[in-house]
Amino acid sequence: MGHFIETFDQTTLFVEDIGEGTPVIFLHGWPVNHRMFDHQMAVLPEKGYRFIGVDLRGFGKSDKPSSGYTYDALADDLRAVIDELQLDDAVLAGFSMGGAIAIRYMARHEGKGIRKLALLGAAAPVFTERDDFQFGIPKDNVNGLIEGSYEDRAKMLEDFGELFFGHEPSEAYNRWFHSLAMDASPHATIACARTLRDADLRDDLSAIEVPTAILHGKNDEICPFDLAEVMESGIEAAEIVPFNDSGHSLFYDEREKFTEELIRFFEK
């Protein structure tokens, strides 16, 4: 079942809503859409969970406006979804940029409607290195993604995919995943890359009071594993689940473990 939900600024978001039971809200990473959770969309409803996949503004089937790509605005969009669906006991699961948005939501909206949080290869609390933060990736790397988006977005995404996957996907899967990224608005792709580059969520971590699972690939070249350790130290009730054989794409590299660990966390 698909919902179209209007946000605070009349942007319409597409939300996939499948199954019954405990609701699990999935926030995708940059620059794809909720369909990246294809396996979880198939499996979780069979296990008694309600899969709720949100296409962030600018991505997938959601509207693609010219503004609203800060973490504050994206967190406010999530609040609109939670309010419209009347969720009060959900699990929030955010991957990469989606993990950063989930953290901002928990701080900005005091975790309304959320009982547990799963951070999946999260691009947080700070995605890029700076004078007082030695982790993350160099800002110039993100600047290169932005420049590539202007020059040849398809090629930039193809090159980005070489860092993304810890295990080389099949040619068919690679084509499909690339198509998810190409469905995004070019403007949203660039604007969200700037947010990833510049945002700082360190002060948000202490506001998270719900049980939190941090699933993170040990070989992640996009969001280095050090970020998971920083998040764990800043969130009171956090637990790291390392994925020793995964890069950034832990949902693909260790697919069965990824789903099993999520379900274990849901039921804990």
- List pLDDT tens digits, range 55-69: 999 999 999 999 999
Residue holding tokens 């973490």?
A: 71
* CATH number of domain containing 183: 3.40.50.1820
Neighbours of 239 (CB within 10 A): 13
248 catalytic residue (yes or no): yes
pLDDT (0 to 100) of residue 241: 98
How many domains are contained in the chain? Answer: 1
Residues comprising the chain, all counted: 268
User: What is the rounded (10 degree) CA torsion for 94, 79, 235, 205?
Assistant: 100
Query: 94 and 101 in contact (C-beta within 8 Å)?
Result: yes
The boundaries of the domain holding residue 105 are: 2-267
Q: Would you list the DSSP string of 101-132?
A: HHHHHHHHSTTTTEEEEEEES---S-SB-BTT
Single-letter code of the amino acid located at 23: P
- Structural tokens at position 72: 């504050």
Active-site entry in 28, 34, 216, 248? 248
The Cα–Cα gap between 54 and 16 comes to 6
Active-site entry in 96, 149, 185, 246? 96
Cα dist from 156 to 101, 147, 151, whole Å: 24, 9, 8
Query: 5 and 15 in contact (C-beta within 8 Å)?
Result: yes
DSSP state of 207: G
Judge whether residue 268 has pLDDT over 90.
no
96 catalytic residue (yes or no): yes
Query: pLDDT band at residue 2, thresholds of 50, 70 and 90?
Result: confident
Query: pLDDT band at residue 212, thresholds of 50, 70 and 90?
Result: very high
Judge whether residue 200 has pLDDT over 80.
yes
Judge whether residue 159 has pLDDT over 80.
yes
Active-site entry in 220, 246, 249, 253? 220
Query: 240 and 211 in contact (C-beta within 8 Å)?
Result: no
